[in-house]
Chains A and B, each alone.
Chain A
Amino acid sequence: MNFVTQYFRDLYQGAIRGWDRFWFTATDPATYCLIRLLAGAMLLYTHAVWTIGLIDFFGPHSWVSREALDALASDGSGIWQMAFSYLWWISESPALLWITHGLALVVFAMLTVGWHSRVVSVLAFIIAASYCNRSPASIFGLDQINCLLAMYLMVGPSGACYSVDRWLEKRRWRKEHGLEPMPPVEASVGANVGIRLIQLHMCVIYLFAGLGKLAGTTWWNGTAIWGSVANLEYQSIDATWLAAYPLLVNVLTHVTVVWEVSYPALVWPRLTRPLVVALAVPLHLGIAVFLGMITFGTVMLFANLAFVSPWIVRAVIDRRSLHVPEVAAEQVEPQRGGKRRKGKSAGTPVAS
């Protein structure tokens, strides 16, 4: 009986320690800030495109009326009552709509460049969710990931680096301290929590995307990819030549499902993570290039960056744009050769 008690005690203590380490370890916010920059740009582009049909989609006689939304809640549960959108308040006034839309674009531009990041990250989420909730019949996966990223960018210091905020901070420091070295960017628990939330949310998305496919016939009989590429409305590059290669269609179909279902498990171990994350690239680029959803494919890749280590981000971005001195470059090299630290595999290009 004692060993049973001991097992549960160990389990409890291990879970507590693991939870604490997983969430509350401060991390370099480089990856988090890179995601801010990319997600901000995608949000800006997404909403800039709304400009073309602003009145059609959000104006007084928009495609989706209030009545249409209420019909979705015909059981009286008031589904749309809780899905907040400030756009309902101003939809009757095109002038107000244009002004607020312009301000929204400014907010997304500020998020992209990282200016007043803390404030604009909150505003960006409210704005992005409001657009989606106002016109839910015209949204798709892109908007879900946009809002996901905007939501988690509220959690930590998304402007800690690669931002105007950081640049202003340096300018102030130079003014006050002259040539005295400025402290490096502070490691942040908030950035870690933000990254962890993106990682876990991506696991949930892939898991249910995979499980949802397993409920279908074509994902089992291996023809689903044909159903996607032979859909003219999605198609941006003709891939109907795949009809001549049914086994290739089978392979692509099965790999897609296996990858999605296994993602939540295999993306965590260091050995498998690079492979799992690398496979995201052809899969999402395929969606982007062949199925005409460049934005959706791209934003999924942005979200997958949450699994890339900050040191990789530093090595790539800082060296390229800031001319990292030789000493730093030398320290980067051994990782590529697989130099190992005690008890851990080194050089795995992904975050823990």
Chain B
Amino acid sequence: MNVDQRQSTSAAARPGSQGRLAAAQPKRILTTKQKQLISAVLAFHLLAVITGPLAAPPSSELFGQLWDKMQWYVEPMFLNHGYRFFGPDPGASHLVEYEVELADGSKLTGDFPDLGDHWPRLFYHRHFMLSERLQAFPDSRQPPDALLAIGMACGLSGEGATIDLPGDPTINALARSYARHLYHKHNAKRVKLTLVRHLIPQPDWVLEEGMKLDDPSLYVRWLLADYTPEDAEFDGARQSLAQAPSGAAGVSARARLEEVQP
């Protein structure tokens, strides 16, 4: 150990010093004007830090306007987050099943995320987030009970149900993007995507009835997209699936602030 390390360590060990005495005094002292300038920058930055969560939906008109004023700084600095981790309620998770018809007529099926294919766990989570982004339909904000009720109303039984997906501009755009990716990756003739909502069982179902978390009755399916090159110019981004009337409100610029789970 050399001398500077010894001095530094020794000073650092002083009780209650919080480390301030561990190092040599700075040679440069800030002037009052410099401090005022830095303080103004810090205050502005801290305002930007709270702008993201304040403006995350649902938010007031005031915070909406604050967002409009701060957006030029908040977005480049990657501060546009709501930080609603597992809020307001931990909900069902979402997966996407795909069926790709290849050029030779054979079919390739798969899903994402897929623990078997996507390794390490972080890579799995990247794909999980892709499918979770589609959670906004039909209403992701409902607690597990309500989600189960939706499943039942959709005729959920046995192997689960497949129902049609009403149009949602954001969901459709993301689904189109995912389909286009698979289309090009596999040089496909047709791509079919199905959104799978995996519901969460009640504790007593697990405890008393022995229900497994992957029980087939806990999965609800929606047809998300069915693309073919004949009626969809993927690069031109024309969607083959008939655009149903929008079932969701227009997506605001703050849509990104609606966090998926972490």
Contacts and interface: CB of A to CB of B under 8 A. Distances in A.
Interface of A: 19-20, 23-31, 45-46, 49-50, 52-53, 56-57, 60-65, 67-68, 70-75, 77-79, 82-84, 128-129, 132-133, 136-142, 144, 147, 151, 161, 170, 181-189, 193, 197, 200-201, 204-205, 208-209, 212-219, 223-224, 226-228, 230-236, 240, 242-244, 246, 249, 287, 292-296, 309-311, 313-315, 318-319, 322-325, 327-329, 331-332, 334-335, 339-341, 344-347, 351-352
Pick from A20, A50, A226, A323 the residue with the most CB of B within 10 Å.
A226
B130 to A, nearest CB: 5
Contact of B16 (A50, A141, A341): A341
Contacts of B24: 183-187
Given A182-B3, A230-B201, A20 B93 contact: no
Contact of B169 (A71, A233, A332): A71
B9 A218 contact: no
Contacts of A45: 122
Interface stretch (B100-108, B156-164, B251-259): B251-259
Contact of A219 (B22, B38, B72, B89): B89
Given A184-B4, A246-B203, A227 B91 contact: yes
Interface of B: 1-27, 30, 35, 38-39, 42, 45-46, 49-50, 53, 56, 68, 71-72, 75-78, 80-93, 95, 113, 120-130, 133, 143-144, 169-170, 172-174, 176-178, 180-181, 183-185, 198, 200-201, 203-204, 206-207, 213-214, 237, 250-256, 260-262
B77 A151 contact: yes
B113 A233 contact: yes
B250 A74 contact: yes
B15 to A, nearest CB: 4
B85 A141 contact: yes
Contact of A318 (B5, B72, B214): B5
Given A140-B260, A181-B7, A204-B49, A187 B75 contact: no
24 contacts: A20-B35, A24-B30, A52-B123, A65-B180, A68-B177, A72-B170, A75-B250, A82-B75, A181-B2, A184-B5, A185-B23, A187-B20, A218-B89, A219-B88, A231-B92, A232-B198, A242-B203, A314-B19, A319-B9, A323-B1, A324-B1, A341-B15, A347-B16, A352-B18
B251 A75 contact: yes
A141 B90 contact: no
Contact of B256 (A68, A79, A328): A79
Given A140-B260, A249-B203, A185 B177 contact: no
A224 B89 contact: yes
Contact of A185 (B4, B39, B172, B178): B4
Pick from A20, A188, A212, A246 the residue with the most CB of B within 10 Å.
A212
A50 to B, nearest CB: 8
A232 B255 contact: no
Given A75-B253, A216-B143, A23 B84 contact: no
A23 B200 CA distance: 47
Given A67-B177, A216-B89, A240-B206, A30 B19 contact: yes
A53 B19 contact: no
Contacts, number: 364
A279 to B, nearest CB: 16
Contact of B27 (A83, A186, A351): A186
Q: Is the interface of A mostly helix, strand, loop or mixed?
A: helix
A235 B8 CA distance: 45
B171 to A, nearest CB: 9
Contacts of B26: 26, 186-189
B170 A74 contact: yes
Given A68-B176, A201-B49, A324-B1, A217 B143 contact: yes
Contact of A224 (B11, B90, B169, B251): B90
B83 A215 contact: no
A27 B82 contact: no
A129 B260 contact: no
Given A188-B23, A212-B87, A322 B5 contact: yes
Contact of B87 (A30, A56, A209): A209
A67 B173 contact: yes
A331 B14 CA distance: 6
A257 B19 CA distance: 32
Given A233-B113, A323-B1, A327-B10, A200 B46 contact: yes
Nearest to B127: A138
B177 A212 contact: no
A331 B206 CA distance: 56
A317 to B, nearest CB: 10
A147 to B, nearest CB: 5
A231 B93 contact: yes
B163 to A, nearest CB: 21
A212 B262 CA distance: 13
